[in-house]
């Protein structure tokens, strides 16, 4: 079955430290990869996406993600975390040749002051 895994339900990091939120996928073909963020009482907001090309993708609010084809991973990163980054983060893939998206279960990021 095609799936997206976010192995950590929650990630805690101190403000100013680098953060990583992990995502791996198991799908056929070469999917498009996305990261979305959800703040309390809000809908999901687009952060970044990987289509092709450079494995390091830069997105909104200083976030970036690294695509690794051999490990089928697309980890979200930020060099220096802010308290305001605390939110729920979703990884998603869009399957090649379809309009179907598969979302991960989400990782709650908590940045401690």
Partner 1 sequence: DADVTQTPRNRITKTGKRIMLECSQTKGHDRMYWYRQDPGLGLRLIYYSFDVKDINKGEISDGYSVSRQAQAKFSLSLESAIPNQTALYFCATSDSQGINVADTQYFGPGTRLTVL
Asked whether the beta carbons of 94 and 107 are under 8 A apart, the reply is no
Residue 59 interacts with partner 1 (CB under 8 A): yes or no: no
C-alpha distances in Å from residue 71, one per residue of 10, 94, 108? 22, 18, 23
26 is a site residue for partner 1 (CB under 8 A): no
Minimum distance from CB of 104 to partner 1 (Å)? 6
Cα-to-chain-centroid distance, residue 81: 15
Q: Which of 1, 53, 70, 97 binds partner 1 (CB under 8 A)?
A: 97
- Single out the residue of 1, 69, 70, 98 in contact with partner 1 (rule: CB under 8 A): 98
CB neighbourhood size of 101 (10 A)? 13
> Which listed residue (15, 32, 66, 75) binds partner 1 by CB under 8 A?
32
């Amino acid at each position: 079955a095609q799936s997206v895994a976010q192995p950590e339900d929650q990630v805690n990091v101190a403000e100013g430290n680098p953060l990583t939120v992990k995502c791996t996928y198991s799908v056929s073909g070469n999917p498009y990869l996305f990261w979305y963020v959800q703040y309390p009482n809000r809908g999901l907001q687009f952060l970044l996406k990987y289509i092709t090309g450079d494995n390091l993708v830069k997105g909104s609010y200083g976030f970036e993600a690294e695509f690794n084809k051999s490990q089928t991973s697309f980890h979200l990163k930020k060099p220096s975390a802010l308290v305001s980054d605390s939110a729920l983060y979703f990884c998603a893939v869009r399957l090649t040749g379809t309009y179907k998206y598969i979302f991960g279960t989400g990782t709650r990021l908590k940045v401690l002051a």
